[in-house]
């Protein structure tokens, strides 16, 4: 009997068995979406629960995803003229209290330090829920003249918001994020900055995470505490609910007033600057999981995958894999690495290839490269896509080129697939009955008219759990009537149930 055939058959059977075993560990999406999500997070070792409720441990595999996201976002933030700095974790109570709306918005979720070094502190210290209070206080000291503007600073940090209901990545008490804080001489400049960063977030989400978003302005009830105007990007998750994935705020002159930031303008007149803030967080990882994941587990877009290719060497049935398979596999790894591909060689001799296939499939590695004795003889290998499971035989001479081509195709394919999902789950409605029916049956985005009245919005939320996600700021506004009360609506808005 030909070794390879038998090896192939055995390998295939084991592959199926292993798949069966592993897939049982992840609850199918259709059975229980929220359990599916938790299974994916825990079993792929992205994160684990910590001893304090709502505080997760981001495990190495999850942290590697974050590092790739962070590196790309950091580059975009710097390319738009910003610099990084770091501000303290503790904010004195009196600092936080200077902006009234801001403190009212954040105090219910603030954690306080009241004892330090065994002694009661004279003034309680808030663990930052966000850093406007700290950063604006420093800006008041640093900014004197129009020559000091604009101030364009970003910080990468952790923040704490005491949450009652938590879920890894999506809503955690402590999370990692970046927060940009800028000062400008005019309202127009501040508004331009706010919208510029919203577009940076939109581009990052689509180009890097392959996560399509709708974007626009928030309604008054959903805006940031203390902001003049809030804008956000919103992605649609597999269960038809929207995830706010990034926000950008024009803070007006509220914070400059509250924190005493003043500058002398070109005419030597005292003036108040305009400020903005904008942020994205580890929450985006939750969006990534729910945008692309399937019943087998994670599906990672190549741009953020810790390993873009995993090489699984298939040992010969008889003899030693050190003789030809493993050296050849190492050679392929070097070739791929040389071509800038993030590659991992799974040379564990404690696991069968079938187990490894299922394991890396669950972890969402975009491409699996199999190489066995027969492949070595033929100077070829097998590449298997995670997204479509499509298999191709590739000559080793062109493996780097082929792998890179496939990675690009996977990245683009994931975005296309996610865009189709959003299109299929966006419904334009004109009656409230239809609105209620869609929200009860399939959810997703609903595009319709809204009168801009807060009480009407509140009623819609109460009756359908849906809120205004964004008021689009681009395109031709379609004027019409409010879906609930029939009053005039200046443009259509996006509704959805939200995370
Ligand atoms: Zn209305």
CA of 479 to the centre of ligand 1 (A): 13
Q: Which residues contact 7 (CB under 8 A, 6 or more apart)?
A: 314, 316, 317, 372, 373, 374
CA Rg value for the chain? 26
CA of 470 to the centre of ligand 1 (A): 16
Q: Which residue has the tokens 């009623």?
A: 459
Q: Is 213 exposed, middle or buried (0-12, 13-18, 19+ CB in 10 A)?
A: buried
446 CA distance to ligand 1 middle (Å): 15
Residue 472, pLDDT > 50, answer yes
d(CA 38, CA 311): 28
Residue with tokens 């009830």: 221
Measured CA to CA, the distance from residue 99 to residue 370 in angstroms comes to 60
pLDDT in tens, 356-380: 999 999 999 999 999 999 999 999 9
Following DSSP, what letter does each residue of 138-183 receive, concatenated? HHHHH--BGGG--EEEEEEEEEE---SS-BTTTB-SEEEEEEEEEE
Write phi, then psi, for 471 (nearest 5 degrees): -105, 110
Q: Ligand 1 center to residue 469 CA distance, Å?
A: 15
Do 216 and 472 form a contact (C-beta atoms < 8 A)?
yes
pLDDT (tens digit per residue) in 304-331: 999 999 999 999 988 888 888 999 999 9
pLDDT digits (tens, 9 = 90+) for 386-406: 999 999 999 999 999 999 999
User: What residues are neighbours of ligand 1 (ion), with CB under 5 Å?
Assistant: 451, 456, 482, 484-485
Residue 423 CA to ligand 1 center (angstroms) comes to 25
Q: How many Å lie between the centroid of ligand 1 and the Cα of residue 255?
A: 32
Q: Euclidean distance between the first and final Cα of the chain, in Å? A: 57
Model confidence pLDDT, tens digit, residues 208-249:
999 999 999 999 988 888 889 999 999 999 999 999 999 999
pLDDT at 12 over 80: no
Per residue in 132-183, pLDDT (tens digit) is 999 999 999 999 999 999 999 999 999 999 988 899 999 999 999 999 999 9
Q: How confident is the model over 82-114, as pLDDT tens digits?
A: 999 999 999 999 998 888 877 888 888 999 999
Give distance in angstroms: CA of 458 to centre of ligand 1. 10
Dihedral sign, CA of 102, 108, 113, 119? positive
Give me ligand 1 centre to Cα 199, in Å.
29
DSSP code of residue 365: -
């Amino acid at each position: 009997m030909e070794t390879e055939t038998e090896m192939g058959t055995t390998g295939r059977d084991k592959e199926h068995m292993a798949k069966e075993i592993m897939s049982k560990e992840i609850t199918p999406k259709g059975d229980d979406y929220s359990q599916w999500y938790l299974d994916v997070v825990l079993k792929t070792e992205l994160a684990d629960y910590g001893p304090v409720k709502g505080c997760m441990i981001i495990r190495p595999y999850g942290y590697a995803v974050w590092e790739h996201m962070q590196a790309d976002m950091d580059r975009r933030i710097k390319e738009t003229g910003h610099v990084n700095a770091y501000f303290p974790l503790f904010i004195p109570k009196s600092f936080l209290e200077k902006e009234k709306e801001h403190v009212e918005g954040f105090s219910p979720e603030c954690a306080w330090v009241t004892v330090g070094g065994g002694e009661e502190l004279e003034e309680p210290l808030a663990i930052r829920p966000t850093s406007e209070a700290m950063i604006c206080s420093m800006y008041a000291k640093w900014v004197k003249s129009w020559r000091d503007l604009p101030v364009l600073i970003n910080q990468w940090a952790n923040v704490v918001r005491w949450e009652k209901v938590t879920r890894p990545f999506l809503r955690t008490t402590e999370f990692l994020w970046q927060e940009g804080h800028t000062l400008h001489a005019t309202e127009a400049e501040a508004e331009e900055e706010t919208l510029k960063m919203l577009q940076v977030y939109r581009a990052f989400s689509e180009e890097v995470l392959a996560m399509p978003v709708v974007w626009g302005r928030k309604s008054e009830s959903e805006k940031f505490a203390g902001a003049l105007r809030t804008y956000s990007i919103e992605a649609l998750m597999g269960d038809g609910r929207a995830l706010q994935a990034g926000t950008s705020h024009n803070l007006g002159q509220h914070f400059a007033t509250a924190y005493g930031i003043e500058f002398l303008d070109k005419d030597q007149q005292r003036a108040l600057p305009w400020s903005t803030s904008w942020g994205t967080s580890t929450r985006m990882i939750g969006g990534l999981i729910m945008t692309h994941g399937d019943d087998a587990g994670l599906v990672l877009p190549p741009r953020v995958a810790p390993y873009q290719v995993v090489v699984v060497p298939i040992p010969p049935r008889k003899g030693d894999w050190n003789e030809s398979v493993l050296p050849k596999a190492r050679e392929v790894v070097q070739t791929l690495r040389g071509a800038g591909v993030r590659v991992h060689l799974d040379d564990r001799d404690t696991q069968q290839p079938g187990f490894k296939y299922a394991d890396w499939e669950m972890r969402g590695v975009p491409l699996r490269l199999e190489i066995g004795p027969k492949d070595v003889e033929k100077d070829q290998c097998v590449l298997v896509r995670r997204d479509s499971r499509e298999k191709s035989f590739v000559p080793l001479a062109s493996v780097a080129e082929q792998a890179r081509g496939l990675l690009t195709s996977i990245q683009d394919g994931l975005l296309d697939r996610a865009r189709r999902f959003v299109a299929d789950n966006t419904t334009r409605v004109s009656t409230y009955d239809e609105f209620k029916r869609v929200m009860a049956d399939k959810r997703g985005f609903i595009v319709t008219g809204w009168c801009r009245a807060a009480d009407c919005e509140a009623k819609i939320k109460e009756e359908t759990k849906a809120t205004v996600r964004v008021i689009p700021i681009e395109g031709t506004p379609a004027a019409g009537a409010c879906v609930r009360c029939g009053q005039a609506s200046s443009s259509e808005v996006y509704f959805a149930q939200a995370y």
